[in-house]
Amino acid sequence: MVTSSSETNFERVTSFNVEYAPAKISKWRSKRTGLTLTHVDQPSPIVNGYFAVATEIEDDTGCPHTLEHLVFMGSKKYPYKGLLDSLGNRFFSSTNAWTGVDQTVYTLTTAGWEGFKVLLPIYLEHLFSPELTDEACLTEIYHIDGRGKEKGVVFSEMQGIENQSWFISFNNMQKVLYKPDSGYSSETGGLTQELRKLTNDDIKNFHKSMYRPDNVCVIITGTIDESELMKVMTEFDESLPSLPSTPNKRPFVDSEPDLPLQKDIIKEIDFPDTDESMGELLISWIGPDGNDVLNNVATDVFGTYLTDSAISILNKQLVEVEDPLATSIEFNTDDYLRTTLNIIASGIPVDKLALVDSEIKRILNEQKDPSNIDIEYLRQIIEKEKVRLIFRTEKSPATLSNVAISDFIYGKEDGSYITKWAKTLNDYDVLKKWSSDKWSHLINEYFVQNGAASILAKPSSALYKSQKESKKAFSKRLKEKYGEEGLKKLQHKLDSAEAKNNKTIPDDLLTQFGKPDPSRIPLLNTNSYRAGLNNMDLDYINNDEFSNYLKTDTPKDFNLALHFEDYSSEFVTINYVVSPPKSNPRLLQYSAVIEDLFTLPIRLPDGTDIPYDKVISALDEDLTSHEVELGFNGEFSELFNFKLCCRNDKYREAITWLWKVLKYADFEETRVKIIVEKLINTIPEKKRSGELILDSANNRALFNDNSLIKAQDFLQTEEFYKEVLSKINDGKFEEVRKDLNDFRDLILGSADHSIFVIGNAKKISNPVSSWAEFSKYVKQSSAVTKAIDVPRSFQFKSELGKKCSSVAHICTIPATDSSYLISFTPIPTDYLHEDIFKIALASEFLNAVEGPFWRGIRGKGLAYGTNIVRYLELGFLGFSLYRAADANEAWTTAKSIVESFCDGTAEIDPISIENAIATIVQSLVFVESNLYDAAYSKIINGVFKKRGTDYLSLFLKKLNTLTHDDIVYALKKYFVPLFSNQSSAVFACLPTSKLSSFEDFMSKQGYQITTEQINVDKESQQSDDSDDMESSEDDSDASSIEHSDC
């Protein structure tokens, strides 16, 4: 080993340049404590920290997850709830964490190294020395309040997911595939029935056994000062206990290994839902050793070969057929000691679940025959996966950080694991040379002879009803057990705990570390160029060698407007952005079919027919990715973006594919029918998501028929696509074909279009003239002075959207145990309107982690998440609740908090204002964390939002002039109206059992109530209606009344 410095405990165990990405990986280990440190040096203004703990447990108590939450409740040195987050807000940072089956990882995301290095030792002290008080356990994990309701942040989180189909399937798979005493069989998030019994002592004991220096790895990505890092880490390492004389047991690595099943096991399970039409299938195997890089890459490539696109073998036989057996089939892996291989099939008719399981296994069995393997397609997949990996790692260090986490948990201490996994892509080159016989051996070993765990998940109306009855009975028993006096005592205990948890952090503690200078954040920059009709007034480079080349490369009478964002890259991304005319709103409902344009056959004018599978194969050969995006980079939803990414040398081919697909894609009957059937069959699964139903409710209510937001909504188009399918089945497909061709002609006939090319523009040949052929097929761009006349969603509001008052629309679904809510009120739509800066500052003040909403709502277990969101494109301010355990109380609390700052009963302190500004800085820098995202951000700010390419500097300048009075002004003018029936519209998605209570609550607020029941047949509806009259708002599992002492 080479010691990096004579003054540090850390010895460098490996260091190497990543051959396929602009990154260098270095790894150290403390010879004194065993603490591991890894740095992925990749240029970025964002420094990311991943503090990983290998966490192994053999039960479903949720100790790993609950401890993750309690770490943020204060440490022995800093015994204040939320200190980490309050300091994080101040230092352009955000904190988070996740708990997986084999790991708990704490994250620190900071704009710049200056703030990161201050927070690093404070954060690590919280990991190694959390306070873990009984009061924090009570409020954060689980409690019963004075009304007999079960709450707690963790309890609310798990309650919201544990009856969902994917959760039930995965949990059952774990129990079938792994031994009962295996850490891989545990639900580390914690089942609600176990969270009730979990004690603080259980969590403390788990912390003592797992949170040891030799079981923790500090992983950092981004631009840092390595000498300063060594200084910070060495000082912290000195505060930790030394390694024991007898080495500690490594979680998982030193445990008895789980071996593959000897035979297939098939288990049928139920999940609660009243729509019993569609089920799901999960098939899992224990695969190769995690250290066997070549076989892991091979199994991953084979999974992609099975499921990647419409021509992949499982999709082609089971999905892309008339009367499909599934709507989607995916492959993924869990990277454990031995890799778990998973195939997930969704949207399966319930009576076909067993058939799909047997069909997948039949196809896999056929593939073990070398003569059945499509070796050329497999090699194409190998190259495609290799290129995708290069693109991902060039764009972001996240992939390499995941490798570093796995290396820490399962790799050798000498760094050989991370070197094998991350240094080169030679394994892909080796696999390209594999023969069919070699692939056959791999398929046989891991997918055929290997025993599989098959979980057949069926929706059950009977289970839904029995759970409702159990919950009612449980709630009744709970209240009877404690009685009125007992509940008062529980509330008093809760109030006392909250008072202790929420003690004020001294201002001098927050300010003693100073605050970083935003001007020292190393921002990224891309270079802007224009060509053709683009005559916008932006910061284009007009007088260098490349700009002159663009002029000479522009054909005479060129009718397109081009914008180039240039930076060093192996890739280029083409965005052909179109604003479709809204002259025929009915045609807009075909948007979901247009999204599948790249999966259609092509018919050229010379009579050449290219079948859809050949089209997809050729696209995969030439392109890294392709999609039809509704919107531009996740915003501006009234646009189409035909987006293609390719290697620099495939630029001309990408453009050729764009015009061939746009102009000559053939709306062939069989393909269109398959697409429509898939759209219809995905609806039952979507109806199980409270978030999707909430989005759909406001999409349909707030926008008119000319809006793409409404036209592409899955509930809005449900009957439309059923009618389309009926037409096809009735022999009237030509009517459908005419509609689709008319819609395509509207798109091609739009003069509102522009082209944005992002990537290494200087490395592509003929960047402008390559568009000459394409220009023949589209109308001349109107972009003589502007790239595109961007349609704004607020221009397509319905009457309710314009009025935005009085109505509360409530949806109920049986497949959720949590509530989701959003309230809208109007705000200005000009991105430079003076009030927008005040609204932004007020929003971040309320939203801050450990800020007013966090403490008042999440901290009391009323909801897992709450947020103020600014939708300038829609012209709305939104207040949202996510996975709420008590939507009524959460609403009341939020309203009270806002009003208290308006009337002066609560104070807006200067430190909170500074922290809110810092949070905005961090969020603006984060969206430009790599050159790819910086390029998109520059276009969005300059072209689409028209607020200037140097918006960060402008925003900071404006924010620094704002005061306490400006926040109060914004709260009174825009935030108070969110909670008034005179100035807001409310949408909610609730469990059916909570409808009556919430309906009554909103009526008392003055709203006119409309309700919509999703996935409810007549029999269930009658039962629900009667149950609602006496239903408790409690939604918990009734298996146990026992609860913890913490």
pLDDT tens string 578-604: 998 888 999 999 999 999 999 999 999
Q: What is the mean pLDDT of residues 430-440?
A: 98
Query: C-alpha angle with apex 388: 382 to 390, nearest 5 degrees?
Result: 105
Shared domain for 788 and 851, answered yes or no, is no
Are 834 and 946 in the same domain? Answer: yes
Same domain, yes or no: 695 and 834: no
Are both 780 and 824 inside the same structural domain? Answer: no
Mean pLDDT along residues 688-707 = 96
**Could you tell me if 788 and 576 are in contact, meaning their C-beta atoms sit under 8 angstroms apart?**
no
64 and 32 inside one domain: yes
**In angstroms, how far is CA 729 from the centroid of its own chain?**
38
**How does DSSP assign 606-675, residue by residue?**
TS-EE-HHHHHHHHHHH-SEEEEEEEETTEEEEEEEEEEEEEGGGHHHHHHHHHHHHHHB---HHHHHHH
The pLDDT, as a whole number, for residue 782 is 58
For residue range 477-535, list pLDDT tens digits in order: 999 999 999 999 999 999 999 999 999 999 999 999 988 888 888 889 999 999 999 98
pLDDT in tens, 804-863: 999 999 999 987 888 999 999 999 999 999 999 999 999 999 999 889 999 999 988 899
Cβ pair 664, 749 in contact under 8 A? no
**Mean pLDDT within 59-85:** 96
- Is 296 contained in some domain? no
Q: How many CA atoms lie within 13 A of 507 on its CB side?
A: 5
Neighbours of 375 (CB within 10 A): 12
Which residue reads 């109920």 in tokens? 812
Q: Quick one: pLDDT band at residue 230, thresholds 50, 70, 90?
A: very high
Six-digit token string for 923: 């969020």
Question: Six-digit token pair at 247?
Answer: 């080495």
Alpha-carbon gap, residue 144 to 477, rounded angstroms? 13
771 contacts 655 by C-beta, under 8 angstroms:
yes
β-sheet bridge partners, residue 143: 151
Per-residue H/E/C for 805-833: CCEEEEEEECCCCCEEEEEEEECCCCCCC
User: Within 13 A of 70's CA, how many CA atoms are on the CB side?
Assistant: 30
State the Cα–Cα distance between residues 532 and 782, nearest whole angstrom.
Answer: 12
Structure tokens at 913: 């204002």
Same domain, 849 and 913: yes
Are 831 and 872 in contact by the 8 Å Cβ rule? The answer is: yes
CA angle 110, 112, 117 (to 5 degrees): 75
Whole-number pLDDT of residue 816:
81
Token pair in block for residue 943: 């072209």
Confidence of residue 1041 (pLDDT cuts 50, 70, 90): very low
Q: What is the mean pLDDT of residues 298-321?
A: 97
Instruction: Evaluate whether residue 40 is within a structural domain.
Output: yes
Two tokens at 140? Answer: 């954060």
Phi and psi angles of residue 853, each rounded to the nearest 5 degrees, phi first: -70, -40
Other Cβ atoms within 10 Å of 501 Cβ, number:
20
- Cα torsion 354, 359, 360, 361: sign: positive
Residue holding tokens 């009579």? Answer: 607
Asked if residue 4 has pLDDT above 80, the reply is no
Helix (H) and strand (E) counts in the chain: 41, 29
- Do 784 and 533 meet the contact criterion of CB atoms below 8 Å apart? yes
In a domain, 485, yes or no: no
To the question of pTM greater than 0.85 for the whole model, the response is yes
- Domain shared by 544 and 606, yes or no: yes
Angle formed at CA 842 by CA 841 and CA 848, multiple of 5 degrees = 85
Half-sphere exposure of 836 (CA within 13 A, CB side): 16
For the cut 80, the answer to whether the pLDDT of residue 5 exceeds it is no
Query: Looking at the predicted structure, is the pLDDT value of residue 682 above 70?
Result: yes
pLDDT tens-digit series, residues 630-667: 999 999 999 999 999 999 999 999 999 999 999 999 99
Compute CA distances 712 → 654, 739, 821, whole Å: 27, 16, 21
User: Taking Cα atoms as reference points, which of 561, 525, 531, 562 lies closest to residue 546?
Assistant: 531
1040 domain residue, yes or no: no
Flag whether 939 is in a domain. Answer: yes
Question: 779 pLDDT band (50/70/90 cuts)?
Answer: confident
- CB atoms under 10 Å from CB of 872, counted, come to 20
Strands annotated E in 476-568: 527-532, 561-566
Task: Tell me if residue 520 falls in helix, strand or coil.
Answer: helix
CB-facing half-sphere around the CA of 286: CA atoms within 13 A: 22
Q: What is the DSSP string of 893-935?
A: HHHHHHHHHHHTSS---HHHHHHHHHHHHHHHHHTTSSHHHHH
Mean residue pLDDT of the chain comes to: 93
Q: Distance between CA atoms of 815 and 168, rounded to whole angstroms? A: 12
The arrangement of strands across the sheet holding 625-632 comes to 527-532, 561-566, 753-759, 571-578, 635-647, 625-632
Phi, psi (rounded to 5 degrees) for 624? -80, -40
In angstroms, the CA 528 to CA 935 distance is 9
- Percent pLDDT > 70 in the chain is 96
What pLDDT does 752 receive? 87
pLDDT in tens, 151-200: 999 998 999 899 999 999 999 999 999 999 999 999 999 999 999 999 99
The arithmetic mean of pLDDT across residues 658-680, rounded, is 96
Cβ atoms within 10 Å of 854's Cβ, excluding its own = 18
In which element (H, E) is residue 548 found? helix 545-552
Residue 790 Rama label (left phi>0; alpha psi -120 to 50; beta): beta
Last residue of a domain, one of 793, 825, 850: 793
d(CA 238, CA 574): 52
Tokens read off for 1000: 């009554």
The answer on pLDDT for 1031 being more than 80 is: no
Pair 50, 151 in one domain: yes
**Looking at the structure, do residues 779 and 833 belong to the same domain, yes or no?**
no
Q: Among the three residues 745, 773, 793, which one is the final residue of a domain in this structure?
A: 793
What is the helix, strand, coil percentage profile of the chain, to 5? 45, 20, 35
The domain of 139 spans 2-254
CA distance between the termini of the chain = 47
For residue 162, tell me if it sits in a domain.
Answer: yes
Same domain for 789 and 810: no
The predicted pLDDT at position 535 comes to 87
CA atoms of 633 and 944, how far apart (whole Å): 11
- Kindly report which listed range (385-394, 510-519, 796-805) carries the lowest average pLDDT score: 510-519
Beta strands in 42-83 (DSSP E): 46-54
Q: What is the CATH number of the domain that holds 245?
A: 3.30.830.10
Are 634 and 593 within one domain?
yes
What is the sign, positive or negative, of the torsion defined by CA atoms of 709, 711, 714, 715?
A: positive
Instruction: Output the 3-class SS for 735-778.
Output: HHHHHHHHHHHHHHCCCCEEEEEEECHHHCCCCCHHHHHHHCCC
Average pLDDT over residues 107-131: 97
Instruction: Indicate if 884 and 920 belong to the same structural domain.
Output: yes
Nearest in space to 856 (alpha carbons), one of 819, 904, 892: 892
User: What are the tens digits of pLDDT across the range 891-920?
Assistant: 999 999 999 999 999 999 999 999 999 999
How do strand 807-813 and strand 985-991 relate by DSSP bridges? parallel
The size of the chain, in residues, is 1046
Supply the DSSP string of 564-601, one letter for each residue: EEE-S-SEEEEEEEE----S-HHHHTTHHHHTTGGGS-
Closest CA to 538 of 874, 949, 243, 142: 949
Residue 283 covered by a domain: no
Element at 255 (helix H, strand E) = none
The residue ranges of DSSP E strands in 114-186, in sequence order, are 143-144, 150-151
The residue from 737, 761, 793 where one domain ends is 793
How many domains does the structure of the chain reveal? 3
Alpha-carbon distance 645 to 272, whole Å? Answer: 41
Phi, psi of 1012, deg, nearest 5: -145, 120
Give which of 795, 819, 818, 822 is closest to 809, Cα–Cα: 822
Identify whether 519 is part of a domain.
no
Distance CA 534, CA 559 (A): 10
pLDDT of residue 781: 63
Give me the pLDDT at residue 1034, please: 36
pLDDT at 728 over 50: yes
Say which residue, 819 or 7, is predicted with more confidence: 819
